[in-house]
Amino acid sequence: MSAKYKVSGMTCGGCVRSVTNAITARDSAATVEVDLPTGVVTVDGDLSEDTVKDAVEGAGFDFGGRAAA
């Protein structure tokens, strides 16, 4: 299952790594791809939207819900 979310507040590669790690910490089998310019985070795996939201917000970034696919 793949889902795209909007995340704001990421401004550099460190932010990208941080968001990626926060999500994969919830499911090590998940694949996370971040597009920094658009703030779109693509998550491939079994994580619910709520879990992704918790991970993103826990890392200090703003979760903006589903992005257009």
Q: What residue has token string 């491939």?
A: 44
Q: Max CA-CA distance within the chain?
A: 27
User: Footprint of its own copies on residues 9-68 (CB under 8 A)?
Assistant: 9-15, 17-22, 25, 58-61
Nearest distance, CB of residue 35 and its own copies, angstroms:
15
What SS3 class is residue 23?
Answer: helix
Beta carbon of residue 69, minimum distance to its own copies (angstroms, whole number): 26
- In sequence order, the β-bridge partners of residue 40 are 6, 35
Give the shortest CB-34-to-its own copies separation in angstroms: 12
In the numeric block, the tokens 């968001």 are attached to 19
**Contact positions vs its own copies (CB under 8 A):** 9-15, 17-22, 25, 58-61
